[in-house]
Structure 1
């Protein structure tokens, strides 16, 4: 009798999941795969589907996230800026999906690697007068964390409101002792999607990968750098960590702050009165840019669409620095199409990353790149962690999003899209300098002659690409 009851319950659960897949499934191949898993892997198929399979664009973790961007005024006239002539579709795509328009009164400083970045961050924090907002995927104990603690203590005594938001999985090693110190000195601390029994199946796969600092709504920072001492001292196993970050001054900071305030509300249920924040413009019209927030709660995969738009819009060159290029079909096809159409497409990656499985999965696509004429550069000196895309000296993306399924579909991410020939040329020069230090792969026939064992491992790792 008990066995019959278990079988009936199992069938009911399976049928409910089948109905959910048929109603909410995105791609037929993916839907079919989950159907096979549910019916061929008892119990395990259910658990995998609950963790990895649900369509978050229909079954949202946090609905109405973009409401935080509804009422922020701006006075931009697109037709007045020739720099945007070739990127009208990208501009409108970002504004239509994320509600973040182009802002034009901004000053951008490119920050390379940890030392320069944290010197700039500490200076901005020391000058804070009203509020400091921080959110990080990885926030670790160490010298940087201690320095921040000391700054926070001084600023709280000066009546500066300090809020810290950290990801529950990315910052799992952050000690309770450090968190207690923060709370003791008056810092508001909130964990984003904590690892809790009863909810971890539905939230484990969706992480907040953003790295944002906002000071007084007038200075902002974003990019690839986390709060970790490896950016200062390196990592014993992989060497130096190289990365790219941005310091933003001007009206775009208001949108970066809105991203933080939105996430703060989602995690804490506490509203921040952003109507009291002044929108600070640089004295003269300077860099035009857009902030692009993306999340699994969006109706569309915004970051994937933006990358896709930049790739398809390239006419002369497309240079990409990214540690984790594991493209889905759309991104792979757009890269191949660009290269086959005569665009100079170059990919710059580390020779190895901090995760061996990811290394094999990344290399599984090299054959396809080389066949299409895409040039691959493997950087030998430690980890190249930057997430940068540059095209035609007119548009660039710098931010937190990798070119993999996790960043494009599952994570909370934030990129800055820069419409600036000057900054594009600066990023391009940096890219070419790194390429000059790297090993270049261009010959498909030579690469295809690698040992068959390597090909087998790469093919096996490629099966995991939807999860990476």
Structure 2
């Protein structure tokens, strides 16, 4: 009798999880958006100190509005400097809004939040737990990192706010990332996405504030397109880039956990003669994610893909480049969480000159990173292989 009750409870829990995930995802997938082709002037940051200096200077010079969305804001000296700067601008009557992920920014304590609100900063958590989709909403994080200043300057990429992004975490060491500074008409779309996320966090999804559509035409600017995803179409976007490659494909990611379709596309690219470079970190900043990658790496190495491991510190860049035809820099990792759960936003770039610049930074980093061989993979211990098996099983949630 007891065994029957236990079995029924397990069946109900599994059924609830399945319905929770399915229906919750269906509700969010309708919010995905591909913005139009836009003109923009771009600047690439790969160093945290240079990025923060530029970002903080733009915030200091803001006249009307500062709208910021980060996955992580911590409770350290860097984060306190950031919070104090936002408070200073709010005291100057600038419209300051800070949106952070509830799970990612769990270290942003109540004292700092009260300080922000007391200064006049509008603050909100995104992706709060929502009944009845508890399991889905605790897993489907808002992973977007966007800043929009006066609707004229935008930032998007992999950096968050914390001391490790400056290379000050002794465990992780030097931090390598990719973040774009955007000016021009494309900033309209970052503003639109922020306001959609802000309205959603306020449970006011029917009311969206107006974004002034500033048309700025300049033949010297790059052509870009922002693609905002909610765990549905990102795989198709990645497949498009891989399939576009004729000579060279570059993939940089901190977490390499591809789908069968993405693996097949990469292997197919190798068969048609494409040189494939994949750059991943040697260290791990989260349990098991590095182990999960080793379920896919042997087949890629055997096919002739060049897998390099960043060993100076931690590699957190999210970049894909197909020849000099298309380049993607954004917030999405090459893993199943970004593909099927998280809210992400990526910038697709179609300017050959800027793509060449991004590729040069990628290869400069690649040059000093050791190449992974089959013998390296075979040397992994039985415990490493055990963790790999566990990681592969739970890879959609890593």
Q: TM-score, normalised by structure 2?
A: 0.92
Choose between structure 1 and 2: higher helix proportion: 1
Work out whether residues 50 and 202 of structure 1, in 8 Å CA contact, stay in contact via their aligned partners in 2.
Answer: no
Unaligned runs of 5+ in 2: none
Partner of 1:273: 209
Work out whether residues 50 and 201 of structure 1, in 8 Å CA contact, stay in contact via their aligned partners in 2.
Answer: no
Deviation at 1:366, TM superposition (A): 1.0
Structure 1 residues 306 and 196: CA distance shift in structure 2, 3 A = closer
Partner of 2:36: 101
- Cα distance in 2 between the residues matched to 1:40 and 1:278: 53
- Cα distance in 2 between the residues matched to 1:302 and 1:199: 21
Structure 1 residues 99 and 42: CA distance shift in structure 2, 3 A = closer
- Cα distance in 2 between the residues matched to 1:226 and 1:204: 20
How many pairs are equivalent? 395
- Cα distance in 1 between the residues matched to 2:69 and 2:237: 23
Deviation at 1:458, TM superposition (A): 2.1
Moved more, 224-233 or 322-331: 224-233
- Cα distance in 1 between the residues matched to 2:168 and 2:90: 31
- Cα distance in 1 between the residues matched to 2:201 and 2:59: 23
Q: TM-score, normalised by structure 1?
A: 0.79
- Give the 5 Å matches for 1:211-360: 211-270=145-204, 271-275=207-211, 277=212, 279=214, 281=216, 283-296=218-231, 301-360=232-291
Partner of 1:91: none
Partner of 1:425: 356
Deviation at 1:419, TM superposition (A): 0.7
Work out whether residues 218 and 280 of structure 1, in 8 Å CA contact, stay in contact via their aligned partners in 2.
Answer: no
Deviation at 1:356, TM superposition (A): 3.4
- Cα distance in 1 between the residues matched to 2:276 and 2:16: 40
Structure 1 residues 155 and 356: CA distance shift in structure 2, 3 A = closer
1:137 aligns with 2:71: yes
User: What secondary structure does 1:54 align onto?
Assistant: helix
Partner of 2:142: 208
- Cα distance in 1 between the residues matched to 2:30 and 2:42: 30
Partner of 1:45: 14
Deviation at 1:193, TM superposition (A): 2.0
- Cα distance in 1 between the residues matched to 2:228 and 2:378: 39
Partner of 1:405: 336
Partner of 2:297: 366
Moved more, 422-431 or 401-410: 422-431
User: What secondary structure does 1:65 align onto?
Assistant: coil
- Cα distance in 2 between the residues matched to 1:198 and 1:109: 43
Structure 1 residues 241 and 197: CA distance shift in structure 2, 3 A = farther
